[in-house]
């Protein structure tokens, strides 16, 4: 359970698995709980990502689609170009209480950044 909680943090923050192989990180975490043996990056890449993904997906679903607030979502978009000058659009769903969730990123290519296109 403790390993899975650490894995959840890694996946949600987008941290690299090799952090668990770093001697200073391992020493720091071990000093907090000397009885626990940390997994390494190879162990983290096993079934833990799928379990974390399923829990996160359920949590997001509960926030976005359960209860009275489920119909009040705002689609937030931000468009920019990457280093190769390719246009991209990042889409988030925002709730009335201020939570936001990544929805998708799209390469918009030659499509105009107008409401009719962004709504698709």
User: Coil, strand, or helix at residue 115?
Assistant: helix
Q: Taken in order 54, 58, 60, 65, is the CA torsion positive or negative? A: positive
The pLDDT of residue 67 is: 66
Domain boundaries, the chain: 2-65, 71-118
> For the whole model, what pTM was predicted?
0.51
Contact 99, 69 (CB under 8 A): no
What are the per-10-residue average pLDDT scores of the chain (120 residues)? 77 82 92 87 80 83 70 81 83 83 79 62
**Which tens digits make up the pLDDT trace of 87-99?**
888 888 888 888 8
What number of helices (H) and strands (E) belong to the chain? 5, 3
């Amino acid at each position: 359970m403790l390993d899975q909680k650490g894995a959840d943090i890694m996946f949600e923050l987008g941290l690299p698995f090799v952090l668990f192989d770093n001697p200073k990180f391992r020493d720091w975490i071990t000093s907090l709980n000397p009885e626990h043996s940390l997994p390494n990056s190879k162990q983290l890449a096993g079934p833990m990502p799928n379990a974390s993904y399923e829990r996160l997906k359920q949590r997001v679903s509960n926030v976005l689609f359960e209860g009275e607030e489920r119909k009040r979502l705002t689609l937030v978009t931000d468009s920019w170009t990457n280093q190769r000058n390719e246009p991209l659009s990042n889409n988030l769903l925002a709730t009335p209480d201020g939570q936001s969730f990544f929805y998708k990123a799209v390469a918009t290519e030659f499509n105009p950044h107008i409401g009719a296109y962004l709504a698709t």
